[in-house]
């Protein structure tokens, strides 16, 4: 059981419907059903009975709801007590470089920052709470409120000091949820000249060494030996969330 399971169970109990709970939480019904079955297996008991109107909690299901409510309330009280503590931020690694290092929107002296690949953020939120989340993908976790949507300007970059080769490969991140990767694959659909690289830092090194090109934030021309491959640029949305206190 993890914190997201608490929210799932609480919603099912209060709505009395797996389908409606899935819609409210932004999950598929199959995912909701799987999580509920996992809870029933973990506690070795039937938590809900099904009827034509939805579901009703069993006696043990009511007990679990009471426990979950008490636990969530205690956690919220604890967070309130910690309100004067250093706030926490979970951020996609590419946005960390942009907002923390380049733009200095956040200071590491004022906020505890955790940087993850975009695909790792949902799992991270299953295990930890953060005061703020900044990510390229919309969250389906109803513990957080969307505060703003902004855009990161990106373009294809190449080395500005090493002789160019028109047949240079195109580097993409191996993070399957990276929006720059997905846009590159869309733009170069069917290309056999695309190479996956295991990290952003390695992509930056390869491009700077003239070994390929990559779709990257335009601001990097100020800090690396890069230049634009052409005049075309794209805007990638990113989302800022705040924990519901």
Per-residue pLDDT of 16-28, as tens digits, reads: 999 888 888 888 8
DSSP-derived letter for residue 230 is: S
Q: What is the model's pLDDT at position 164?
A: 64
pLDDT at residue 76 tops 80: no
Which of 104-108, 135-139, 164-168 is the most confident on average? 135-139
Four-point Cα dihedral 153, 159, 164, 170, nearest 10: -50
> Which pLDDT belongs to residue 77?
67
- Asked if 169 contacts 195 with a C-beta cutoff of 8 angstroms, the reply is yes
Q: Is the pLDDT of residue 84 over 60?
A: no
The secondary structure element, H or E, covering residue 52 is none
**pTM of the model as a whole:** 0.65
Instruction: Spell out the residues 6+ positions from residue 192 whose beta carbon is closer than 8 angstroms to its own.
Output: none
User: What are the start-end ranges of the H helices in the chain?
Assistant: 3-15, 18-25, 29-43, 59-81, 93-96, 121-127, 179-187, 200-208
pLDDT band at 165 (very low <50, low <70, confident <90, very high): low
57: β partners: 48
pLDDT above 90 covers a percentage of the chain that reads 61
pLDDT at 162: 72
| pLDDT attached to residue 81 | 62
Rounded to the nearest 5°, which phi and psi values hold at 161? Answer: -120, -15
What pLDDT band is residue 132 in, cutting at 50, 70 and 90? very high
Spatial distance between the Cα atoms of 110 and 18, rounded to a whole number of angstroms: 41
Total residues belonging to the chain: 245
pLDDT for res 128: 84
Q: What is the mean pLDDT of residues 121-127?
A: 85
Q: What is the pLDDT of residue 122?
A: 87
**Whole-angstrom Cα distance, residue 17 to residue 13?**
8
What integer pLDDT is reported at residue 79 of this predicted model?
Answer: 66
Closest by CA position to 78, among listed 129, 44, 117, 39: 129
What is the predicted pLDDT for the residue at 106?
86
Q: Mean pLDDT, to the nearest integer, of 56-60?
A: 94
pLDDT at 27: 86
What tens digit of pLDDT does each residue of 201-245 get?
Answer: 999 999 999 999 999 999 999 989 999 999 999 999 999 999 886
Triad 162, 163, 166: Cα angle to 5°: 125
Helix 18-25 to helix 3-15 angle, to the nearest 10 degrees? Answer: 130
Per the model's pLDDT, the better-predicted residue between 145 and 78 turns out to be: 145
Mean pLDDT on 152-176: 88
CB environment 158-178: b (16+ within 10 A), e (fewer): bbeeeeeeeebbbbbbebebb
At residue 153, the 3 state secondary structure works out as: strand
pLDDT band of 143, cuts 50, 70, 90: confident
């Amino acid at each position: 059981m993890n914190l997201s399971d608490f929210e799932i169970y609480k919603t099912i109990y209060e709505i009395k419907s797996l389908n409606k709970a899935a819609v409210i939480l932004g999950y598929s019904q199959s995912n909701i059903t799987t999580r509920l079955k996992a809870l029933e297996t973990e506690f070795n008991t039937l938590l809900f009975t099904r009827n034509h109107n939805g579901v009703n909690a069993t006696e043990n299901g009511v007990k679990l709801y009471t426990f979950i409510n008490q636990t969530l309330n205690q956690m919220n009280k604890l967070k309130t007590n910690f309100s004067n503590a250093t706030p926490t931020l979970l951020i996609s690694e590419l946005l960390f470089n942009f907002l923390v290092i380049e733009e200095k929107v956040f200071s590491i002296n004022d906020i505890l920052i955790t940087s993850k690949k975009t695909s790792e953020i949902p799992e991270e939120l299953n295990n930890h709470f953060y005061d703020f989340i900044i990510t390229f993908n919309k969250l389906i976790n109803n513990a957080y409120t969307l505060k703003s949507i902004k855009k990161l300007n990106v373009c294809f970059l190449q080395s500005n000091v090493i002789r160019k080769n028109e047949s240079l490969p195109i580097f993409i991140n191996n993070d399957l949820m990276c929006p720059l990767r997905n846009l590159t694959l869309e733009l170069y659909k069917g290309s056999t000249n695309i190479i996956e690289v295991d990290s952003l830092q390695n992509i930056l090194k390869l491009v700077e060494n003239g070994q390929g090109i990559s779709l990257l934030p335009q601001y990097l021309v100020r800090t690396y030996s890069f230049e634009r491959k052409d005049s075309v640029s794209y805007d990638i949305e990113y989302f800022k969330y705040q924990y519901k206190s």
